Amino acid sequence: MDVDETHHQLSPAQLNELQHGVSQYCPAIDSQLLDDFFAQLDRPYFEAFELADIALHVTLLADVNPEQPVQVHIRPLDAARAEIIIVAYDLFGEFSLITGLMAAYQLNIREGQVFSYQCGPGQTTPWGHTDGGMIVDVFTVGGSETYPFDATAQAQFIADLSELIQRLRKGEVQRARDQLNDRLIDSFRAAQPTLTSGLASVEIDIDNESSPDWTVVHLTADDSPGFLYTLSNALAMRHMYIHGVRIQSHADQVQDRLEIGWRRGGKIVSPQGLLELRLIVTLIKQFTYFLTSAPDPAKALRHFDMLLDRLTADGSLRDTFPWLWEAESLKALATVLGSSDFLWEDYLRQQYAMLLPVIKETTEANYRVDKAELTWQLQQALKGAESSEDKKAALNAFKDREMFRIDMRHLLRPELPFGLFSEELTDLAEVVLAGALDLAQTHLARRYGEPLLADGTPCGFVFGGLGKFGGGELGYASDIEMLCVYRGPGKTSGPEPISVSEYAEKLMRYTRDVIVARSAGIFELDLRLRPFGSKGPLATSLDAFQQYFRAEGQAAQFERQAYIKLRWVAGDAALGAEIEAIRDTFVYSAAPFDVAAAVKLRQQQIDTLVKHDTTDAKYGRGGLIDIEYTVQYLQLMHGANDMALQ
């Protein structure tokens, strides 16, 4: 019912009359508990419920205790609706768990009223809770056709809520949220996707006049999954407390009235606080409207809340708001944030400020950038850098931004050919490697000059790609496997001449140091497949390369397989052709390929990398590695006689 917002307390006579009436319904309830209950709740609560309802709430409250901090009563209203009554200790973040669990059970909140009371410091309630309070939440809900809210589901709901509230009371906040998020995934996947291409209809009014203690938010909007859960989480993380809620649902529209204040007390009155509140409520309502388009809606919710936290903390939320107020932007953001924990942890958490500009750029100009354009862009990025460290930072910033842009392009354009993603990342790797080599050569030239052969001619260098880099099969988390071969012995021409072999070693060390991986194995130079592996020099002379891979050389059988994908990437093209010819002679020789030894080595790989009793799609038996290795075994066995297999 509607309540008079200007008179929040009943008169003593009214309270006495109500309390006497309620006591007739629950005569066994302790009179002190009744006295406190009526002293603590205000007028809107007593005007919202009949005497029998209040008596039920008090009866439930009498059973709340530290071992059972929540009591739930569910009663059917008709075939499609049920009433859920929740009486519990008032715990910070509790409302988000309640509404989140309802979303997980695919319950549509038709109506809802939430009341709470906070004890003062040091005050102990009759139910044994110090410095806290209680809540009385009453919801009218409807179940879904795919997940009916029958007696079995109701019993499980009560058990799940009790477990979550108990975790919250023990301080296991994140564990409770993670547990709930796991339940939410299936619920969001079952929800119908948003068909409209526009924004949700949202009307929001913030009122600081009608309530003496709370900032009142009136929200009328299209219904969307997980809104109250996401909003209450976001407000809790910003130290805002939801004191009371009234929910009314009509068709696909909801009308919410929320009483909000600071956790430590007081209304939201500062201009910054009010702006932040308005932006958060509006953005979350719009974002949840597009949740069903996310690959993992629960993950998208979690990451969106973290993003809001960062935008709020650094003061950029206000400037970001106009761009986010676009349907395509929010839909793209839901897709990106709901795609990968790996992407969030590795990139977005540290460099979230780059997220929105790159998504904006990707949604507005979604096309492949070729190698020539990438090379020009890198050159432009390096122009403004003066010192070696500045150039190194500029190159890595370019690398990170382009990696993210390519990843976003393919997340937002799932219809693109699968192999195109690897091609674009390989192009980027080649451009970044060439740029790093150029920086390394420039740096070394100042001190050592140019590497020359014994006859005084320039010494050629070749840089070859191996593994996924050599095969043009890079993924987001791939490293850059490569090697370096130089033409022959000689000296440098600078003021401090050194041997070409020493120069080559310095060149590879500097190049490896220039390219900084955000995480181990991601766009990190890997030189372990060079001749002699980690025991050998970082760069190899042409003669040593030939000797290593000749029939009587020291190369192991597994290197025949590893070098199938060797290709020239940068440097002296003529020398690169010679290297590839040596590769062909070694890899596709007439010497028999020992399949038994290869299978034994593969088994060792499985034993090392695959955990017992787990399924590993990449390294496990019958997985991707087995498919790739089988093809390579056949290439090695028959490639000498069939050029098409090389």
Q: How many CA atoms lie within 13 A of 378 on its CB side?
A: 27
**391, part of any domain:** no
Q: Write out pLDDT tens, residues 463-512.
A: 999 999 999 999 877 899 999 999 999 999 999 999 999 999 999 999 99
Residues 154, 135, single domain; the answer is yes
Domain boundary (588, 612, 630) is at: 588
**367, part of any domain:** no
Cα(345)–Cα(463) distance, integer angstroms: 32
**297, part of any domain:** no
Residues 506, 622, single domain; the answer is no
Distances (CA, A) of 105 to 141, 190, 257, 499: 11, 11, 23, 72
Domain boundary (268, 292, 316) is at: 292
pLDDT bucket at 454, cuts 50 / 70 / 90 = very high
User: What's the whole-model pTM score?
Assistant: 0.69
Q: What crossing angle do the helices spanning 271-289 and 317-324 adopt, rounded to 10°?
A: 30
Calculate Rg over the CA atoms of the chain.
33
Burial grade of 203 (CB within 10 A; 0-12, 13-18, 19 or more): exposed
SS3 170: coil
Residues 531, 608, single domain; the answer is no
pLDDT exceeds cutoff 90 at 324: no
User: Average pLDDT, stretch 311-340?
Assistant: 73
SS3 613: coil
**98, part of any domain:** yes
Compute CA 517 distance to the chain's CA centroid, rounded to the nearest angstrom: 19
Residues 523, 581, single domain; the answer is yes
Strands 480-486 and 540-541, bridge-based pairing:
parallel
**27, part of any domain:** yes
**311, part of any domain:** no
Residues 152, 272, single domain; the answer is yes
Tell me how many domains the chain contains. Answer: 3
Domain that holds residue 80: 12-292
Q: Write out pLDDT tens, residues 546-591.
A: 999 998 899 988 899 999 999 999 999 999 999 999 999 999 998 8
Residues 546, 624, single domain; the answer is no
Write down the pLDDT at residue 349: 60
User: Average pLDDT, stretch 389-394?
Assistant: 94
Residues 570, 604, single domain; the answer is no
Name the token pair of 102: 């309802």
**473, part of any domain:** yes
What's the CATH number where 549 sits?
3.30.460.10
Residues 516, 628, single domain; the answer is no
Residues 580, 610, single domain; the answer is no
Sheet holding 202-207, edge to edge: 70-76, 81-89, 133-142, 108-118, 240-250, 253-262, 215-222, 202-207
**497, part of any domain:** yes
Write down the pLDDT at residue 128: 47
Question: Which residues make Cβ contacts (< 8 Å) with residue 359, sequence separation at least 6?
Answer: 329, 332, 333, 336, 408, 412
Residues 22, 131, single domain; the answer is yes
Report the number of secondary-structure helices (H) and strands (E) in the chain.
Answer: 24, 15
Domain boundary (238, 257, 292) is at: 292
| Three-state secondary structure string covering 283-349 | HHHHHHHCHHHCCCHHHHHHHHHHHHHHHHHCCCHHHHHHHHCCHHHHHHHHHHHCCCHHHHHHHHC
Q: What is the percent of the chain with per-residue pLDDT over 90, rounded to a whole number? A: 40
Residues 38, 63, single domain; the answer is yes
Residues 612, 542, single domain; the answer is no
